[in-house]
Amino acid sequence: MSSIRLGTTYPPTDIETVLSTTQLTGKREPRTRFYEAGQFLDRLDGYITPQGFALAVWTFDILDQTMVDTLRTYCPGFDATVYISTRIEDGIYQDYEATMIWPFKQM
């Protein structure tokens, strides 16, 4: 089982359990990207200042309609508050209360 987790309550549930093990058989867990902040501003003194919230992006290689429907129970609209465990720098996993947002094209 992976350490990528999703839930509407804390602690979140392993993603393979959320999408059911049989649905993910032979499929990879989502690829993750983590950004410490929404944007980074160059300062005149040569330093960089992070601005905004942290951002975790999960990219699934394959999602069939059943999997999409399952994920929709966690986020039935454009966005919803969820709990996640996601990979951050150096392969470390961290828990967050997060806002799940569907890609605009999916809406």
Closest CA to 12 of 81, 91, 67, 102: 81
Tokens at residue 102, please? 């569907």
Tokens at residue 3, please? 């350490």
Run of H or E residues at 15: helix 15-18
What mean pLDDT do residues 3-14 have?
92
pLDDT for 23-62, tens place per residue? Answer: 555 566 788 999 989 899 999 999 999 999 999 999 888 8
Q: How many C-alpha atoms does 51 have within 13 Å on its Cβ side?
A: 7
The model's pTM is 0.80
